[in-house]
Amino acid sequence: MFDRQRTSSNSEMGRAMALIELVDGRAVTGQVRLPLSGKLSEAMNNADQFLDVVTGDGKRQFIAKHRIQTASPVEVPKADQLQKRADLAVFDPYAVLGIPRGTAGDELKQAYHKMARAYHPDRLASLDLPKEMRDYAAAMLVRVNLAFEQLQG
């Protein structure tokens, strides 16, 4: 019924990130509770009639399996994967900071501070986030700092 590949993202915690497309066309992205095998396919193919999903906003949903068209694992990039993408030949500091080209001075500093606050580990420490999300935030903070350094220098 569903692809039998093993998910690696959160299997040690009993959950894996997945994109679930419903028969009515809606899509739900969230952490799916996995069986002991750690496989999304077994969560989909077991006898349970509902799939236990925690969405990004922290809401827990039980989705009827007969309403699911597809379920695909979502691999959250690890910190080292994002750092590899910071290839200076294609790295766009303006895009990282979400500002138009030519922005400088106080506007540049404001954009930097906004992004640095959004991804700062101290701010995210109080949230119950999976390791992959913390790694992603740390990698994004590295990119934000690099973007700011390039535009200031």
User: Which among 36, 27, 34, 26 is positioned nearest to 9, based on CA atoms?
Assistant: 34
The pLDDT assigned to 82 comes to 58
Task: Please state, in angstroms and rounded to a whole number, the distance separating the CA atoms of residues 116 and 147.
Answer: 11
CATH 1.10.287.110 location in the chain? 79-152
Q: At what angle do helices 131-152 and 105-119 cross, to 10 degrees?
A: 170
Provide the H-helix boundaries in the chain.
40-45, 79-85, 93-97, 105-119, 121-124, 131-152
| pLDDT in the model for residue 139 | 84
What pLDDT does 128 receive? 78
Non-local (6+) Cβ contacts of 132 within 8 A are 9, 10, 17, 76, 78
Structure tokens at 107: 């506007």
CATH class, domain 79-152, is mainly alpha
Distance CA(70)–CA(26), nearest Å, equals: 11
pLDDT of residue 136: 83
Domain 11-73 has CATH 2.30.30.100: yes
- Mean pLDDT per 10-residue section of the chain, whose length is 153 residues: 44 73 88 89 93 85 94 70 55 87 91 90 78 82 87 79
